[in-house]
A = this chain, B = another copy of it.
Amino acid sequence: MTAPLRLCVRRGPEKEAASPTIRVALTLPSDIDVIEETVELLALHAFAGRIPAQRTRFRFRVTLAEALANAIQCGNGGDPDQPVHVELHLTEETIRVQVTDRGTGFDTDHTTDPTDPDTLEYPCGRGLFIIRHLTDHVEFNDQGNTIWMTLPRS
């Protein structure tokens, strides 16, 4: 056999990726001990097939952990029988995280500043502040038992 002679190379139709939105959903019990595992599990899906910036991964993990802690403790009052529902809506560029609890919600317009010198040594009150600063966008439903956070995927 002599060296084969290349005649032609054809490529099949390569459609411009329609980039569908992928939804990833998960329901967890109101138990703070499952937060860490849930965050790691969802991070796998949020960045499936990608190598995001270290910072992006950090922002995702911290803000999701915060939102889950609020849903479990404030929303569901830590009652393990009350579920928390999480969904990720993944597009090419962004991750939209939705966390819903079974609670009655709260006044989501009322914000406090934990960096105020008067309250700087308080042990609580930094969760939503961190969420607002580490996400690109935050929204709540009217009732206040669903939070939507938008984050980058890269």
User: Which chain B residues lie closer than 8 Å to A27 at the CB level?
Assistant: 20-21
Residues of B contacting A13 in the complex (Cβ-Cβ under 8 angstroms): 33
Tallying the copies of this chain within the complex gives: 2
Cβ-defined contact, B34 with A44, below 8 A: no
What is the bound-complex CA distance between A48 and B21, given in angstroms? Answer: 17
Q: Is the CB of A15 within 8 A of B34?
A: yes
Please measure, in the bound complex, the distance between the C-alpha atom of A22 and the C-alpha atom of B26, giving whole angstroms: 5
Contact with B along A29-68 (1 / 0, CB 8 A): 1010110011001001100110000000000000000000
- List B contacts of A49 (CB < 8 A): 41, 44
Known: A18-B29, A29-B18, A31-B15. A24 touches B45 (CB 8 A): yes
**Most chain B beta-carbon contacts within 10 A, residue among A18, A22, A31, A45:** A22
- Whether A37 contacts B25 in the complex (CB less than 8 A), given A44-B48, A44-B49, A45-B48, comes out as no
- In Å, the complex CA distance between A7 and B78 comes to 34
Question: Contact: B28 with A25, CB < 8 Å?
Answer: no
Residue numbers in B under 8 Å from A45 (CB-CB) = 22, 24, 45, 48
